[in-house]
Amino acid sequence: MRSETAPAIRLEDYQQPAYRIDTVHLTIRLQPNETEVVCATSVASRDGTDAGAPLILDGDELTLVGIALNGKALDEGAYSVTPERLEIHTPPAEPFELVITTRINPDANTKLMGLYRSSGTYCTQCEAEGFRRITYFLDRPDVLAVYTTRIEASSKDCPILLANGNPVDAGRIENSDRHFSVWHDPHPKPAYLFALVAGDLARVADGYQTMSGKQVDLNIFVEHGNEAMCGWAMDSLKRSMKWDEETFGLEYDLEVFNIVAVSDFNMGAMENKGLNIFNDKYVLADPETATDQDYANIEAVIAHEYFHNWTGNRITCRDWFQLCLKEGLTVFRDQEFTSDMRSRPVKRITDVRLLKSHQFPEDAGPLAHPVRPRAYHEINNFYTATVYEKGAEVVRMLKTVLGAADFKKGLDLYFERHDGNATTIEAFLTCFEDATGTDLAQFALWYEQAGTPVVSVKTRHDPGNRTFTVDLAQEIPPVPGQKNSKPALIPLRFGLVAANGEDMETGAADGIEIANDTMLLEKARQKVVFSDVPSKPVLSLLRGFSAPVRLDQHQSEDELELLAASDRDPFNRWQAVQTLAMQELLRLTQLARSEKPLTPSQSVLDLFGTVLQDAELDPALKALALTLPSEADIAQEIGKDVDPDAIHQARQRLRAEFALTHRSALLKALTDHMPTGTYSPDAQTAGKRALSNRALHYFAVSDAEETAQRVWERFSNADNMTDRISCLTLLVHDGMPKRNEALKAYRLRHENSSLAMDKWFMVQATAPGSDTLKLVRSLKSDALFDETNPNRVRALLQSFATGNPTQFARVDGTGFEFIVESVLEIDKRNPQVASRLLTSFRSWRALESKRCALAESALLKISSCEELSRDSRDIIDRTLQ
């Protein structure tokens, strides 16, 4: 049987640290497999700590070389040490200097946490608990210290030496081929924000003048040869800096801001103070290898990490339960930035799609947890869609509930009151209460309760009384381990749409508080009566997706068509089209399930035709409206007894019928909207490209010979990655005759770009069709597959498990078995990557019984494995619970 699981860490057990660490002087002597770390700290007991209370420092796979207190080596009996823990039994009552020397092996660090090497470059990742893999420390976010870092390394291998803060000294080390540099970061910070980089990197330099006139050096460090791919990231950085000044009055606070791109990185990017480290896919771009989506992602991730300088770094988290304090707020900020840089409605729709496809299923499955969890076994497993995306929604609701002006007041107070603190969600909310006099006790439940509330809606119009009644009710469906959920405060933006498509003016509403077109639902049930409503309106509810809830509302086809055509809220126009498409897909799936003929309804086809030919609609919005709900979305909507094959059939059928019905309009759209001239990643041009490619996506299923030829030509002639990869996807996913030729040509062209080759792996892994699994297995042995590179693992394995519902959940169970095998292999080297991959099973209970049983036995195989990382053990236990 498997080993016992360690007890959970609980929010309610939080205690202040017994000791402070005020300053840290690190000397790091880099060697590939024998790096020496000397960590000199000034330590003092905190008020309230008993005299002589033991000092217990965290470690992880560390080797202690020496330890001295106030300049004297400690006697053996004065401390005890393991690789995971260093205890000094009775430290002095007065402040003291502690010098700890450890030895670590960057080359052997395959977990990519702590100090490791990526393509020869030394780099670090310390969030959440990686600093303890460098030295023994109070590795918790409420211990803030001022760091000075001296790096020593070979001059030849590591001409570039970087750490947090400002550079203060550098030079050669006498009688050696080594050199050093010293960095000082004046801003107290927790250990998770520590970083260093050393290697032979190219530098792209620029500058920025802050609003108070200070000059900041901006640098992006990349592998030699990639300099020309940094322009977009640098431009995004400068726009982020300007935006944060203009929008929130927040200015940068060091003399340099450095970004380093590395190719082996567990996450997307990391906000280390003054030295952000990025997965290179969120830095490098040129039209040849990056899609419009890549450009948009780079802009957003650069902004996100930059914005953390205030929301995360200057004001940090007291403990890891407060993760959403920095992540939810910073995601909200980067979403706002993108909305201002690009199209607000397009951004909103994109974000809601992400929320519904990632966070809603998480909230509905065994891994559900509140935005602020109360317990965890492994904190790395809580960097989730719930903490991030729902966390951002909660901040957005706060703005909706308070109004923009009061929201700003509260946030200003937060920055003023908590600058330099490690703080909590309560303290954050108190700022809004104090600044505005609002009681946010009920609002705070959004942080406490897991599960997506369902808001049910019933309406009736009484022509005699000229009243319009809306019955609202809210409920959170059962969540594992959560009893008696309470009603949340749900802001519902709305309008009453008249037959002419315009919002009606009505009399007062009874039974609910309304401000700024928003109803505030606060009870389990509320009856709202509008007076002076002359004719029957169509209720457009949850405009802009004003709350992360599901609506249970029946609207007729006519009503939805009215909203689709003329709701003044662009989000709800899009939503109405999607709702109609979803209803049709559910009906077709049902038919497929019972092996009946699939005949798509004419009205949905007509609606899609109307959208396609709407001359007013912004191309980007049109492309989104014409995107059918994904197979995963449909599965989620069905909720139980899911048959992925039936869903796939239904969706393909609707796509094909739409293509057939609107062939000429599609052809026109795909040519009319194809941008000409030099490639530009701006939102408008990207929107046109998206529409042109969306049209091609339908067109491609219509008629074999001629269409296949057209796709092939467009693939061959593409002058940018967006067009090339969408054509390649069609060639491969629709099994066109030239699919193999296209894959070969693509590979030849992009062999030397690992980011472009990730796409090559991903396209194949997500192809529907029963031969895909065999192909994916063989790709795992391809010379270009690299199990040590997280991006490559995600491109092949994660995208198979999460982006190929019919083949992952094959009815013979081999898809599950394949992922289980892969998880077990990867878990030995990189637990974080393995446990992420394992979350692809999170909706297994919703599958029809046969697949469900197969998923369970695959999961049990993992569970019975004795040597499982804490990361994967945590996920497997909760998934099977």
Binding residues for ligand BES (CB under 6 A) = 127-128, 267-271, 300-301, 304-305, 308, 327, 331, 383, 388
> Would you say 268 or 477 has its CB closer to ligand BES?
268
If binding means CB under 5 A, how many residues of this protein chain bind Zn ion?
2
Tell me the CA distances in angstroms from 154 to 29, 31, 149, one per residue in order: 9, 8, 17
**Residue 76: burial class (beta carbons within 10 Å; 0-12, 13-18, 19+):** exposed
Cβ 333 to ligand BES shortest distance, Å? 11
Cβ 127 to ligand BES shortest distance, Å? 4
Unique residue bearing structure tokens 């990639």 = 226
The residues that bridge with 137 in the sheet, in sequence order, are 58
Report the C-alpha dihedral over residues 585, 588, 592, 596, rounded to 10 degrees: 180
Cβ 192 to ligand BES shortest distance, Å? 8
CB atoms within 10 A of CB 140: 21
Cβ 265 to ligand BES shortest distance, Å? 8
For residue 84 the two structure tokens come to: 């995971």
Residue 231 interacts, among ligand BES, Zn ion, none and using kind-specific CB cut-offs from 5 to 8 Å, with none
Residue 428 interacts, among ligand BES, Zn ion, none and using kind-specific CB cut-offs from 5 to 8 Å, with none
For residue 880 the two structure tokens come to: 């099977």
> Would you say 191 or 858 has its CB closer to ligand BES?
191
Given phi > 0 = left and psi -120 to 50 = alpha, else beta, which region is 518? beta
Residue 128 interacts, among ligand BES, Zn ion, none and using kind-specific CB cut-offs from 5 to 8 Å, with ligand BES
Cβ 338 to ligand BES shortest distance, Å? 10
Q: Which residue is nearest to ligand BES (CB)?
A: 268
Cβ 304 to Zn ion shortest distance, Å? 6
Looking at 419-556, list the stretches that DSSP marks H as alpha helix, in order from N- to C-terminal side.
Answer: 425-436, 445-448
Residue type, 580: L
> Would you say 17 or 268 has its CB closer to ligand BES?
268
Please give the Cα distance from 266 to 25 (Å, whole number).
27
DSSP secondary structure of 615-626? SSS-HHHHHHHT
76 is catalytic: no
Strands of 513-515's sheet in order across: 513-515, 518-521, 490-497, 538-541
CA neighbor of 393 nearest in space, from 418, 427, 356, 367 = 356
CB atoms within 10 A of CB 341: 19
Q: Are strands 215-222 and 256-262 parallel, antiparallel or unpaired?
A: parallel
Residue 267 interacts, among ligand BES, Zn ion, none and using kind-specific CB cut-offs from 5 to 8 Å, with ligand BES
Residue 142 interacts, among Zn ion, ligand BES, none and using kind-specific CB cut-offs from 5 to 8 Å, with none
Please give the Cα distance from 176 to 178 (Å, whole number).
5
Please give the Cα distance from 818 to 779 (Å, whole number).
13
Cβ 311 to Zn ion shortest distance, Å? 9
Classify residue 107 by its DSSP letter: G
> Would you say 254 or 385 has its CB closer to ligand BES?
385
> Would you say 309 or 772 has its CB closer to ligand BES?
309
Report the C-alpha dihedral over residues 727, 729, 730, 732, rounded to 10 degrees: 120
What Rg, from alpha-carbon coordinates, does the chain have?
28
3-state secondary structure of 224: coil
Cβ 268 to ligand BES shortest distance, Å? 3
Tell me the CA distances in angstroms from 591 to 628, 651, 653, one per residue in order: 18, 12, 11
Cβ 569 to ligand BES shortest distance, Å? 26
Q: Which residues contact 811 (CB under 8 A, 6 or more apart)?
A: 645, 850, 851, 854
Tell me the CA distances in angstroms from 311 to 122, 190, 223, 443, one per residue in order: 27, 14, 30, 21
> Would you say 327 or 874 has its CB closer to Zn ion?
327
DSSP secondary structure of 271-321? --TTEEEEEGGGT---TTT--HHHHHHHHHHHHHHHHTTTBTTTBEESSGG
Cβ 174 to ligand BES shortest distance, Å? 38
Q: How wide is the angle at C-alpha 290 spanned by C-alphas 289 and 294, nearest 5°?
A: 160
For residue 597 the two structure tokens come to: 């003929």
3-state secondary structure of 875: helix
> Would you say 311 or 459 has its CB closer to Zn ion?
311
Of 208-216, 245-253, 327-335, 635-643, the window that binds Zn ion (rule: CB under 5 A) is 327-335
> Would you say 272 or 839 has its CB closer to Zn ion?
272
Of 305, 378, 389, 561, the catalytic one is 305
Residue 784 interacts, among Zn ion, ligand BES, none and using kind-specific CB cut-offs from 5 to 8 Å, with none
> Would you say 327 or 723 has its CB closer to Zn ion?
327
Residue 268 interacts, among Zn ion, ligand BES, none and using kind-specific CB cut-offs from 5 to 8 Å, with ligand BES
Please give the Cα distance from 383 to 389 (Å, whole number).
10
The residues that bridge with 520 in the sheet, in sequence order, are 491, 513
Peptide bond into 128 cis (omega under 30): yes
Residue 269 interacts, among ligand BES, Zn ion, none and using kind-specific CB cut-offs from 5 to 8 Å, with ligand BES
> Would you say 283 or 868 has its CB closer to Zn ion?
283
Q: Are residues 470 and 539 in contact, defined by beta-carbon separation less than 8 angstroms?
A: yes
Cβ 169 to ligand BES shortest distance, Å? 29
Classify residue 578 by its DSSP letter: H
Cβ 301 to Zn ion shortest distance, Å? 9
> Would you say 391 or 451 has its CB closer to Zn ion?
391
Of 330-338, 498-506, 661-669, 735-743, the window that binds Zn ion (rule: CB under 5 A) is 330-338
Residue 656 interacts, among Zn ion, ligand BES, none and using kind-specific CB cut-offs from 5 to 8 Å, with none
- Counted residue by residue, the chain has a size of 881
> Would you say 295 or 388 has its CB closer to ligand BES?
388
CA neighbor of 592 nearest in space, from 638, 659, 556 = 638
> Would you say 282 or 699 has its CB closer to Zn ion?
282
Please give the Cα distance from 449 to 100 (Å, whole number).
43
Q: How far is CA 272 from the centre of its chain?
A: 18
Cβ 603 to ligand BES shortest distance, Å? 40
CA neighbor of 638 nearest in space, from 524, 490, 805 = 805
Please give the Cα distance from 548 to 451 (Å, whole number).
10
* Residues involved in catalysis: 305
Interacting residues toward Zn ion by CB under 5 A: 327, 330
